[in-house]
Amino acid sequence: MVDPATLKASVKVCMFDLYGTILDMQTGLREAATPFLQGKGWTGNPDSFVTWWRRTHFENSLIDSLLQREHTPYREIGERSLAFVLERAGIAFSLAEVRALVGEIEKLRPFPEVPAALQRLKARYALAVLSNGDRDMLETAKRHHGLFFDRVISVEEAGFFKPHRATYRKAAELQGAATDEILFVANHAFDCIGAKSAGMRTAFIDRRRRPFGHTPHQPDVIVPDMTALAGLIA
């Protein structure tokens, strides 16, 4: 762990993952999926369904980056992943239904403590987002989350999904900052590992109270939520 005073002295930008760190993706998608699943007569756990959907999406995004071909839009990856999970669960669906459920990602709301924490942080740092979401999805999301960021960057700019190192380096370039002047903040260990390997400082938001894991790319700070991060470095 790095002394907070060291971070304050070197960090100029706080850059955030969006889905799952700033915005409550699990809750938002569960609330959207529950009436759909009930209408289909599916009696499983909607929370487990959403977890399955999100994990499949992550796996497919990694495959897309590893192929090193033309970048596939996040929305398309999401539709493929959701369709696969519906098929596995034996739930009949239409393409329109899949598109509507994936569209709910654009309507996600922040975790309760996030707005106040960002207010504290923006007094000292530039605030940015680096997201796997498509540019148009991130633009639409602004109308729903109502949060201010100096810059919102899609991985489309680099042509790879996170945690490919190219995404973080491209984000630093677009932000006009050296990688070690950026504190990347994420609720996902993989995202912190990717940012750290690209030379950024990292903060792990341990909302789910899970171990970070044994990796040489350990976070600089671990905090339970955004309030604690703001209290530490704002």
What tokens does 166 get?
Answer: 């190219």
Domains of the chain: 4-24+109-233 (3.40.50.1000), 26-107 (1.10.150.240)
- Which candidate, 11, 3, 5, places its Cα nearest to that of 195? 11
What distance lies between CA 207 and its chain's CA centroid? 13
How far, CA to CA in Å, does 75 sit from each of 13, 134, 144, 206?
28, 7, 18, 27
What tens-digit pLDDT sequence spans the chain (234 residues)? 788 888 999 999 999 999 999 999 999 999 999 999 999 999 999 999 999 999 999 999 999 999 989 999 999 999 999 999 999 999 999 999 999 999 999 999 999 999 999 999 999 999 999 999 999 999 999 999 999 999 999 999 999 999 999 999 999 999 999 999 999 999 999 999 999 999 999 999 999 999 999 999 999 999 999 999 999 999
- Residue 15 forms beta bridges with which residues? 128, 184
What DSSP designation does 110 have? B
Residue with tokens 């390997």: 197
Identify residue 232 by its one-letter amino acid code.
L
Q: Where are the alpha helices (DSSP H) in 14-163?
A: 25-39, 46-67, 74-89, 95-103, 114-121, 135-145
- Geometric angle at alpha carbon 57, from 53 and 62, rounded to 5°: 150
Q: At what angle do helices 114-121 and 226-233 cross, to 10 degrees?
A: 20
- pTM score, two decimals? 0.95
